[in-house]
Amino acid sequence: MATALFQRIIYGMVLILAVIVLNFLLIQAAPGDVVDVLVTEAGGGDPEIAAQIRASYGLDQPVYVQLAKYLGNMLTGDLGYSYYRDESVLELLLSHLPSTLILTLSALLFAIFIGTMLGIYAATRPQGVTNHMVTIFSLLGYATPVFWMGMMLMLVFSLYIPIFPSFGFRSIPAPETMLPRILDILHHLVLPTFTLSILFLAGYSRLSRASMLDVLGADYIRTARSKGLSEFVVIFKHALKNASLPVVTIAGLQLGQIFSGAVIVETLFSLPGIGPLLYDSITNHDYPVMMGVLFGTAVTVVVANILTDLVYRLLDPRIRGIS
Amino acid sequence: MKNPTLKSENTVLSVENLCVDFEIKGKQVQILSDISFSLERGKTLGIIGESGCGKSMTALALMRMIPSPPGRISAGRVVLKGEDLAQASEKRIRDIRGGEISMIFQEPMTSLNPVFTIGNQIVEAIRRHKDIGKSEAWKEATDLLDIVHIPAPNRRVHEYPHQLSGGMRQRVMIAIALACEPTVLIADEPTTALDVTVQAQIFDLLNEIQKDRGTCIILITHDFGAVAEMADRVLVMYAGHKIEEGTLDEIIDSARHPYTQGLLRSMPEIKVDPGDIRESLAEIPGVVPDLLHLPEGCPFAPRCSFVMAQCQDLPHYMDLGDNRSVKCWLAQEDSRTKEQA
Amino acid sequence: MSEMIDQQDLAAQFGEKPEKPEKPWQATARMFYTNKAAVFGLIGFLIVILLGLFGPIIFGADPFDIAGKPLMEPQDANPLGTDYLGRDILSGVIYGARPTMIIAITATVCATVIGISIGAIAGFYGGKIDNFLMRFTEFFQVLPSLVFAMVIVAVFEPSFLIVVLAIGTTTWTPLARLARAEFLKIKEREFVLAARALGAQNIRLILRVILPNALPPLIIAITLRVGTTIIFEAALSFLGLTDPSIMTWGRMIGLSRDYFFEAWWTVTFPGLAILFTALFIALIGDGLNDAFNPKLRRR
């Protein structure tokens, strides 16, 4: 198991290297460079000064030297500098990631939990209404744009029935003591989390229903019943652990998608996460931040994939045994 | 209809006129028709027939484990030690399952849950029916593995099913089934998926257990060889009907139903003297009928080489005395001619 | 497991067989047309396509024209209201069908070509080629598709071509995996081995022998991909990352983002247009799935 994990980590590092190279290529492909932006920002167009700045950044050197330098910088944690924000990209990322992680994790857990419950409920009552509901629900989940869903929820729960805030991460001014502070943040997170999770929830409910139906027909479920176990134990012990395997796999594969969704939801709800950071960097042609966000999200997905792999190994002894 | 199965005081389980219906495409289809038999303490009943004849369904019906919907027990009684299981409450039947009646299945490779250790799966069965502590249950589980001759039980008890061979897994299944010293052990094709040498070992194990504990065994199989090795009595099934029943010797020596005779012919090593059947070492022609489109009358008629006009009506059970019965017009005619002679 | 059959298996086993043998495609079409939800989806989708083709001719009004006061509630003159510049929402929704569908379909074609080429080559050749191509695919899976597409559009310019290419290059991975799995499975089948033994060229094997047999699951995936792409493009447009001269439904919502608390209709109706179109596509996809795999129905 340890060697498998080690291999996984090495492979993850290779992926991250590849992302760095891609970043570099994208910057190279971009019409104009940082200096053009800088010079334009400064309001001047003096080609001599521009050339000087280029030389000082090493932009006049051959591409492979630049790539080597870029790789070196990235690997030592120097993700570049935001001229627009006057802050290092690494710091910007680190200050914006936590909010995004809280949002994605809570949305993911909520979606998996409720989705699985719905799926189980539908799978154990094949003739029931829930079955149709899961089908309809998953169709709507597929067909609804996440930002539009967010807007509709805002209209209903912030405007017409104002019970949840539609803007920001905390109240201004924020409560002073610890507990109300946390509750305040949670209160702000309700709508964004719900918006982000509901679409994935629809998918998970369908997936876990299918996987549950599959597992419930398995021979070992018949064995469990023949021991005289109650339906509750049969479903929540014997079936669930097996049925959760495909759900974990898909959740792992969908992490990138959840990040994409989070970018939109954060932008919509003005949360201080990666989404607005990326959005602002795009409007302001702040390439280092743009590339930093692409890099940061890719690294997070790589790490999360390794964690998913670990969870899968914990759940399935058949994989665990092979090392 | 008269119950043709006689009961003695040693009878542990008796099944009386059991019928099971399935609803398929809105139609009620009878999967089991009027099945009766009884089981005596420490004896083995073999139920034999081609696949799809209702053998496994009979076993599942005893434990009330027919998938429902679409299936249901539509008539009959399953009496275990004086209690009708067909009418028992859901809670009571769960106490019976794994406690009084337990079952081992055909597919040892898939019948154990892959994500739990075998110890966990045995302990679970023990603690479901016995009020004992965890550590004690684990000790019992280890002992059970020893009883079913699994080497190094102390280590094996912590292993997962995928770490065991098919034969070993079937032994684990037997250990689970034995966990609460059941009165009746149903073995549904327990060796079909295993190698021939392993098959013999499993049969030896079942025989040993029966000798030590006096467990009744119902052996479900399509293999007359297995029946010959294990069974005291034999019940032959075809298309959901019990078509013949008798002791092992009676069935082998004087099968009355053409279907039973056909089954025996396809197993030449059963007969002591194969000379008289040499001419037709063949499979029974045709296939098991589609239960949605069963012919009127005797279900075997379309494949029977002795079919007569009378076979358009369903034959009754004919009691041949001594708990021996057959469901065939020809057999009844034969006995009548014998009587007249 | 001889008799623990569930109802579907029993029905399939004992069920009446069709009188005369049908060709597989005929059977699929028959299955599809007997599925009410699928037919509903197909009709709805055709209406959207017809709206995209002929809507502007029939309804006439230009969506960029000022049709009334800004942010007017739905009323007789503007049945779906007006936006912040006083443009008619209804004509916006009607005119939006064409660009939305054109981008969705071209981007799906783009993703399909990339995905199936890579998946087919990986599955067909196997070995090192497969290994390399799958690593390549995994690399693209690590990049969150929307973030990646946003960066591509931002680095280049937000034109029709760039948007299509950005969507195509960021969303082809599931199709590649599916195509690879199908090719791996089918290339071992007898008729492929037979064709190979008869000396068929690899190109012929890939395109003429294996691909047609891999089509059913691919067609389902591609159909569903069109809907996903509509939503993906809408998200890009919502964030302003799209060709400014093209007014898709997503862009209508994005432009009205600052006004929707005052005027719900400015975002609700274009959003419903997206939702219904994607829903029609999902129903078609589900119908195709059931039609291709009748045994797995209702799963």
Q: Is B223 on the interface with A (CB under 8 A)?
A: no
Chain B interface, best mutation among C3, C7, C13, by max B CB count within 10 A:
C3
Determine the Cα–Cα distance for residues A290 and A37; give it in Å rounded to an integer: 14
Give the domains, in start order, of chain A with CATH numbers. 31-78 (no CATH), 95-319 (1.10.3720.10)
pLDDT-derived band at A170, boundaries 50, 70, 90? confident
What count of CB pairs under 8 Å joins A to C? 144
Chain B positions in Cβ-Cβ contact with residue A219 (cut-off 8 Å): 105, 107, 110-111
| Identity of the residue in C151, C282, C298 whose CB atom sits nearest the CB atom of A139 | C282
Task: List, run by run, the mean pLDDT of 10-residue segments along chain B (341 residues).
Answer: 54 84 79 84 86 82 82 83 83 87 86 91 89 89 87 90 88 87 87 79 86 88 83 86 82 78 70 45 59 71 73 72 74 68 58
- In this predicted structure, what is the pLDDT of residue C227? 93
Is residue C177, in this structure, part of any structural domain at all? Answer: yes
Residue C2: is its pLDDT beyond 50? no
Is residue C285, in this structure, part of any structural domain at all? Answer: yes
Q: What percent of chain C has pLDDT over 70?
A: 89
CB contact under 8 A, A27 and C155: yes
| Identity of the residue in B55, B67, B107 whose CB atom sits nearest the CB atom of C6 | B67
Determine the Cα–Cα distance for residues C265 and C260; give it in Å rounded to an integer: 7
What are the tokens at C172? 């082809």
- Distances, alpha carbon B58 to alpha carbons B39, B49, B70, B221, in Å: 14, 12, 15, 12
Average pLDDT taken over every residue of chain A: 85
Chain B positions in Cβ-Cβ contact with residue A227 (cut-off 8 Å): 97-98, 102, 124-125, 128, 176, 179
CB contact under 8 A, B113 and A224: yes
Q: Is A226 on the interface with B (CB under 8 A)?
A: yes
Question: How many other C-beta atoms can be found within 10 angstroms of the C-beta atom of residue B214?
Answer: 13
Helix (H, G, I), strand (E, B) or coil at A216: helix
pLDDT-derived band at C235, boundaries 50, 70, 90? very high
Q: Is A295 on the interface with C (CB under 8 A)?
A: no
With beta carbons less than 8 A apart as the criterion, state whether A123 and A115 touch.
no
Q: Which domain holds residue C111?
A: 36-57+80-297
User: Looking at chain B, which residue has its C-alpha nearest residue A233?
Assistant: B124
One-letter amino acid for residue C31 of the chain: M
Chain A positions in Cβ-Cβ contact with residue B99 (cut-off 8 Å): 228
Is residue C256, in this structure, part of any structural domain at all? Answer: yes
What are the tokens at C27? 């059977």
Is residue C29, in this structure, part of any structural domain at all? Answer: no
Determine the Cα–Cα distance for residues C259 and C278; give it in Å rounded to an integer: 25
With beta carbons less than 8 A apart as the criterion, state whether B74 and B21 touch.
yes
Please name the residue that has the structure tokens 């079913």: B148
Shortest alpha-carbon distance between residue C5 and chain B (Å): 8
What count of CB pairs under 8 Å joins B to C? 40
Write the CATH number for C53: 1.10.3720.10
| Identity of the residue in A228, A238, A317 whose CB atom sits nearest the CB atom of B98 | A228
- In this predicted structure, what is the pLDDT of residue B1? 41
Chains touching B (at least 3 CB pairs under 8 A) are A, C
What are the tokens at B335? 């006995």
Q: Which conformational region is residue A285 in: left (phi greater than 0), alpha (psi within -120 to 50 degrees), or beta?
A: left
pLDDT-derived band at A230, boundaries 50, 70, 90? confident
At B209, give phi and psi (nearest 5°): -60, -45
ipTM score here?
Answer: 0.87
Element spanning B28, H or E:
strand B27-40
CB contact under 8 A, B110 and A225: no
Query: What's the whole-number mean pLDDT along residues C105-117?
Result: 96
Query: What's the whole-number mean pLDDT along residues C88-109?
Result: 90
CB contact under 8 A, C253 and A144: no
| Per-residue pLDDT tens digits for B178-217 | 888 888 989 888 887 777 788 888 888 888 888 888 889 9
- In this predicted structure, what is the pLDDT of residue B213? 84
Determine the Cα–Cα distance for residues A109 and A251; give it in Å rounded to an integer: 10
Determine the Cα–Cα distance for residues A277 and B329; give it in Å rounded to an integer: 88
- In this predicted structure, what is the pLDDT of residue C61? 67
CB contact under 8 A, B173 and A223: yes
- Distances, alpha carbon A44 to alpha carbons A35, A58, A83, in Å: 11, 21, 16
DSSP A30: S
Determine the Cα–Cα distance for residues A169 and A112; give it in Å rounded to an integer: 24
Chain B interface, best mutation among A226, A235, A245, by max B CB count within 10 A:
A226
Chain A positions in Cβ-Cβ contact with residue B112 (cut-off 8 Å): 220, 223
Cis peptide before A173 (omega within 30 of 0): yes
User: Looking at chain A, which residue has its C-alpha nearest residue C2?
Assistant: A219
Hey, which residues 119-158 in chain A have their CB within 8 Å of chain B?
127
Lowest mean pLDDT among A93-107, C73-87, C104-118, C244-258: C73-87
Is residue C140, in this structure, part of any structural domain at all? Answer: yes
Q: How many domains does chain C have?
A: 1
Is residue C110, in this structure, part of any structural domain at all? Answer: yes
Q: Is A301 on the interface with C (CB under 8 A)?
A: yes
Is residue C115, in this structure, part of any structural domain at all? Answer: yes
Determine the Cα–Cα distance for residues B96 and B183; give it in Å rounded to an integer: 10
With beta carbons less than 8 A apart as the criterion, state whether C23 and C29 touch.
no
Determine the Cα–Cα distance for residues A322 and A110; give it in Å rounded to an integer: 32
Determine the Cα–Cα distance for residues B67 and B57; give it in Å rounded to an integer: 10
Determine the Cα–Cα distance for residues B207 and B197; give it in Å rounded to an integer: 16
Determine the Cα–Cα distance for residues A273 and B253; give it in Å rounded to an integer: 84
At A134, give phi and psi (nearest 5°): -60, -40
Q: What percent of chain A has pLDDT over 90?
A: 23
Determine the Cα–Cα distance for residues B329 and B306; give it in Å rounded to an integer: 10
Is residue C247, in this structure, part of any structural domain at all? Answer: yes
Element spanning C9, H or E:
helix C7-14
CB contact under 8 A, A223 and B94: no
- In this predicted structure, what is the pLDDT of residue C11? 40
Determine the Cα–Cα distance for residues A294 and A299; give it in Å rounded to an integer: 9
| Identity of the residue in C2, C13, C15 whose CB atom sits nearest the CB atom of B56 | C2
User: Looking at chain A, which residue has its C-alpha nearest residue B103?
Assistant: A226
